[in-house]
């Protein structure tokens, strides 16, 4: 990426970070927003589930025996 893209991305990151801790700090529209680090934990668990479900699909469904088409 060009240097200007990184600068714009950094500025947007800082703006959203400031908004998260100032304007949106008291905004709890769902029960899970009150749990600290919920989205980090949820992202980790779903990434783990995605990797292992992809391994299962690759081994059991996509992978075929060597003589499957003979």
Reply yes or no on whether the pLDDT at 64 is more than 80: no
Q: What is the mean pLDDT of residues 13-28?
A: 80
User: Alpha-carbon distance 1 to 10, whole Å?
Assistant: 13
Cβ–Cβ < 8 Å for 32, 38: yes
Whether the predicted model's global pTM rises above the 0.75 cut: no
Reply yes or no on whether the pLDDT at 69 is more than 70: yes
Reply yes or no on whether the pLDDT at 49 is more than 70: yes
Mean of pLDDT over the chain: 85
- What is the distance, to the nearest Å, from the Cα of residue 43 to the centroid of all Cα atoms in its chain? 5
The residues, any chain, with a CB within 8 Å of residue 38's CB and separated by 6 or more, are 32
- What is the structure's pLDDT at 47? 96
């Amino acid at each position: 990426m060009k240097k200007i893209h990184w600068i714009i991305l950094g500025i947007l990151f800082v703006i959203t970070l400031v908004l998260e801790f100032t304007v949106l700090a008291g905004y709890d529209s769902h029960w899970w927003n009150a749990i600290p680090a919920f989205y980090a934990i949820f992202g980790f668990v779903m990434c783990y589930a995605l990797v292992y479900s992809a391994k299962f699909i690759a081994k059991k469904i996509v992978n075929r025996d060597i003589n499957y088409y003979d």
